[in-house]
Amino acid sequence: MSRTSRLFLLMDALRAHRRPVTAARLADELSVSLRTIYRDIQTLSELGAPIEGEADFVGPVRAPGTITVSPPKRLGERKLDGETVAGSRIEATIPAGAIGNEHPIQMSAEQWYGKDLQVVVEATYKDPRTGETKYKLSDIDRAEPDAKLFKVPDGYSKQPAPASARKHR
C-alpha cells in the first residue's frame, strides 16, 4: 500500500471512531507498526489535519470532521532518473473558521513512488501556512557496493563485555 493511500485510510479510521482511539488500535486496524502510525499522524498534522492527542502521540488521538480530503488521484507513471515511478496526489481543505482562519486553506501532497526501489523518489507538499516543500532522491546508484565494505577487518575478534558493563536482572 502506498503512503498516500495509508494516510487516507488513517484519516477515515480517525473519523469513523468519533471518540478518542489509541494509536495501538489504529496500528492494528491498518496492519502497520505503531511507529508508522506515529509518523503518519505527524505527517497529517503537518498537512493541517485537525488531529488532537496526548503529547508525543502517546494515548488517544482523534480528528474532528473539519478537514476535507480528496481521494488519491492517480497521476500515472513516468521515468525519473531511470526509475519507473507512479504518482499520486491528495488535496485537503480546512474550511474557513475551523482553526481561526478567515478563508479556506488549500493544501496538496504529490508523491512519485519508485516501483523498483519501493521508496518515494520525488514529493511536493504545498500548504500556504508553511510554503512549498520539495523532496527528490538523486544520484541513485544501483551498482553493487564494493565487497571491501563488508569485509571483517584483520585482527578483529569478538570478546565478551566486562562484567561491570553487563546489565543485572
pLDDT in tens, 109-149: 999 988 888 888 999 999 898 899 999 988 878 888 899 99
Flag whether 43 is in a domain. Answer: yes
Check whether residue 86 and residue 128 sit in a common domain: yes
Check whether residue 72 and residue 115 sit in a common domain: yes
What's at 137, amino acid-wise? L
Q: How many domains does the chain have?
A: 2
Q: What string of DSSP letters covers the chain?
A: --HHHHHHHHHHHHHHH-S-EEHHHHHHHHT--HHHHHHHHHHHHHTT---EESGGG-SEEE--TT-EEPPPEEEEEEEETTEEEEEEEEEEEEPTTTTS-SS-EEEEEEEEEETTT-SEEEEEEEETTTEEEEEE------SPPPGGGGSPPTT----PPPGGGSPP-
Is pLDDT at 157 greater than 50 in this prediction?
Answer: yes
Flag whether 124 is in a domain. Answer: yes
Flag whether 165 is in a domain. Answer: no
Is pLDDT at 165 greater than 80 in this prediction?
Answer: no
Flag whether 15 is in a domain. Answer: yes
Name the DSSP class of 24.
H
Check whether residue 89 and residue 56 sit in a common domain: no
Q: What is the mean pLDDT of the chain?
A: 81
C-alpha cell at 65: 470532521
Is pLDDT at 53 greater than 70 in this prediction?
Answer: no
Check whether residue 10 and residue 53 sit in a common domain: yes
Check whether residue 10 and residue 52 sit in a common domain: yes
Flag whether 13 is in a domain. Answer: yes
Of 21, 45, 62, the last residue of a domain is: 62
Say if CB 119 and CB 142 are below 8 A apart. Answer: no
Displacement of CA 44 from its chain's centroid (Å): 8
Flag whether 153 is in a domain. Answer: no
Is pLDDT at 1 greater than 80 in this prediction?
Answer: no
Check whether residue 128 and residue 73 sit in a common domain: yes
Say if CB 44 and CB 7 are below 8 A apart. Answer: yes
Check whether residue 96 and residue 36 sit in a common domain: no
Which CATH number do you get for residue 27?
1.10.10.10
Flag whether 157 is in a domain. Answer: no
Say if CB 66 and CB 60 are below 8 A apart. Answer: no
* Domain span including residue 55: 3-62
Check whether residue 88 and residue 57 sit in a common domain: no
Check whether residue 12 and residue 41 sit in a common domain: yes
Flag whether 147 is in a domain. Answer: no
Check whether residue 85 and residue 55 sit in a common domain: no
